[in-house]
Structure 1
Amino acid sequence: MPSTCRNFAVSLGALAMAACSANTSPAPVSYSQVDMSEYIMAAVLSPARPAEDIARDEARKPEEIVTFASVQRGDVVAEIAPGGGYYTRILSQTVGAEGKVYALMPAFFANRPGGLDGINAIAERYGNVEVVVVEGYDTLSLPEPVDLVWTTENYHDLANGNVAATNSWAYGALEPGGIYFVEDHAAPGTGLSATSTLHRIDPAAVRDQVTEAGFVLEAESDLLRNPADPHDASPRDFGGVSDKFALRFRKPR
């Protein structure tokens, strides 16, 4: 367990249990005089999170990543391609009942038999999650502006399509001052050449594409860096933890 987990375990164990138990609704409790670090830790420690997600925490560092992304209580989040919902659960409990998470599932998942079963189960269990099936980001419209657009480990797939439209949509969907958070598998110096072959992307290419849409790069994080990764295999084939980057962009006010 990370040191911060140990530091918060005693004080937050009861909060996490109250926020979400296996037999009751996992809607976050109403905390009083608690800063964001404790909200985030309560979400990470929630006993409603499945064991397979918890097993990935050491490699994904969710507490630190959600903190870096500046997620706030009450935020409205648009999560692009949430997959199995690893971050959906954490974001849902971090933003709380005052917030909202729109889980934007690509249509090709929805068209598979049972393709939406997992994310629909999360939405049913977590009252502030809404599943939205996405045909394309150039025509996607959400019922309200969002505070955060979030994408992890799939920007390289977006780059294989009309990523300019995706980034333009993100810019338009966000409130002024809103955040666009991108985390993905790194392939430094490759531009866009590894997006469909190695399922990685050059962080410099992401910076160029997203800032071209009007965003300002606010911060970069090396939390998920792994210099031992040779960057010559797909993350699924690499026999270790892949080298990843995290970028926080902001829409100007």
Structure 2
Amino acid sequence: MLVLSIAAASAAVITAGCTASSQAVSRDSQTSGLAATSLTAAIDGPQRSEKARARDVYRHPQETLQFFEVGSTQTVLEIAPGGGWYTDILAPYLHGHGHLYEAQYISTSAELADEDRPTDAAYLRKLAGAPAIYGNVVVGTLRAGEFTGFNADGQFERVLTFRNIHNWMKDGQFDGNLQAFYRALKPGGILGVEEHRARPGTTLKQMIDTGYVTEAYVIEHAKAAGFTPAGRSEINANARDTKDYPHGVWSLPPTYAGDDADKARYAAIGESDRMTLKFVKAR
């Protein structure tokens, strides 16, 4: 089982019993003005590669995190960090006064789990190799709707997921994961969701095959898990995305699936049209 606390690489590690100073959304919003400069500094920091920065024009990290009301004193859980694109921002932003937890997603399918293993291992090496930046990050796992590696029962002000839902649908774990997120949040806590957006009326099979998911599907299932919709944003919208490619969303950058014949066309479109949704655990 792939469970690791970065304590193995650095002595400066928080414990799962840490608490954040903010208890509810109203208190969090009081710190947003004070945190803006620190968030900007984290986004502009030298820990981010030029390749990562080049995607800011599509991913809008400052606007997205501000929409999710992420504050520098919070305890935040990111789900399925992949290579760490958002970790590179969240880790320094939360390092001084907040706490960052990461849950690597372990598929219930052995084949899918094997596909993710090299990326997950590289992510852990990255964190262990820079303890001054990532030494306070706690890493565990999420599998079949259960967290391991840290206490996730009502511990977090924010749970964040970026472009993962289509994978969980394919794995049959979306509802179980939503229930796990609900349990992990404190009352008043926010679930922030970014996902490739399908046209209304797209079938379940089409969503799984193409990687594009309808907003209605996400909202319906989040509500069924107990969440209350708290806002939507067009921060990550892309009107150029026609969503009709031979390799689904993976035809577009940064993946560019398929041959290079249409690469210039896909580069001109840019990254996918994405929904950005906010849900609250009311009680």
Q: Distance in 2 between matches of 1:141 and 1:172?
A: 16
Q: 1:44/1:162 Cα in 2 relative to 1: closer, same or farther (>3 Å)?
A: same
User: Which aligned pairs between 1:1-253 and structure 2 lie closer than 5 A?
Assistant: 35-107=34-106, 108=113, 112-113=117-118, 115-122=120-127, 124-125=129-130, 126-138=134-146, 140=148, 142-144=150-152, 145-160=155-170, 161-189=172-200, 190-233=202-245, 234-238=248-252, 239=266, 240-241=269-270, 242-253=272-283
Query: Could you say what secondary structure the match of 2:229 adopts?
Result: strand
Q: Report if the CA contact (8 A) 2:82-2:119 is conserved.
A: no
Q: Report if the CA contact (8 A) 1:167-1:210 is conserved.
A: yes
Shift in Å at residue 207 of structure 1? Answer: 0.6
Q: 1:40/1:113 Cα in 2 relative to 1: closer, same or farther (>3 Å)?
A: closer
Q: 1:113/1:73 Cα in 2 relative to 1: closer, same or farther (>3 Å)?
A: closer
Q: Distance in 2 between matches of 1:251 and 1:114?
A: 31
Q: 1:101/1:139 Cα in 2 relative to 1: closer, same or farther (>3 Å)?
A: closer
Q: Report if the CA contact (8 A) 1:73-1:98 is conserved.
A: yes
Q: Distance in 2 between matches of 1:53 and 1:218?
A: 29
What is the number of residues matched between the two proteins? 222
Superposition RMSD in Å: 2.3
Identity rate, percent = 30
Shift in Å at residue 193 of structure 1? Answer: 3.1
Q: 1:124/1:99 Cα in 2 relative to 1: closer, same or farther (>3 Å)?
A: farther
Q: Report if the CA contact (8 A) 1:78-1:149 is conserved.
A: yes
Shift in Å at residue 204 of structure 1? Answer: 1.0
Q: Report if the CA contact (8 A) 1:105-1:134 is conserved.
A: yes
Q: Which has the higher contact order (CA 8 A, sep 6+)?
A: 2
Query: Could you say what secondary structure the match of 2:238 adopts?
Result: coil
Deviations 1:20-45 (A, max 9, x none): xxxxxxxxxxxxx9712112111100
Most deviating of 150-159 and 91-100: 91-100
Give the alignment's TM-score, normalised by structure 2: 0.72
Query: Could you say what secondary structure the match of 1:148 adopts?
Result: strand
Shift in Å at residue 213 of structure 1? Answer: 0.8
Shift in Å at residue 183 of structure 1? Answer: 0.2
Q: Which has the higher helix share?
A: 2
Give the alignment's TM-score, normalised by structure 1: 0.80
Q: Distance in 1 between matches of 2:217 and 2:142?
A: 24
Q: 1:110/1:72 Cα in 2 relative to 1: closer, same or farther (>3 Å)?
A: farther
Q: Report if the CA contact (8 A) 1:215-1:249 is conserved.
A: yes
Structure 2 gap segments, 5+ residues each: 1-31, 107-112, 253-265
Q: Report if the CA contact (8 A) 2:91-2:137 is conserved.
A: yes
Runs of 4+ in 1 over 4 A off after TM superposition: none
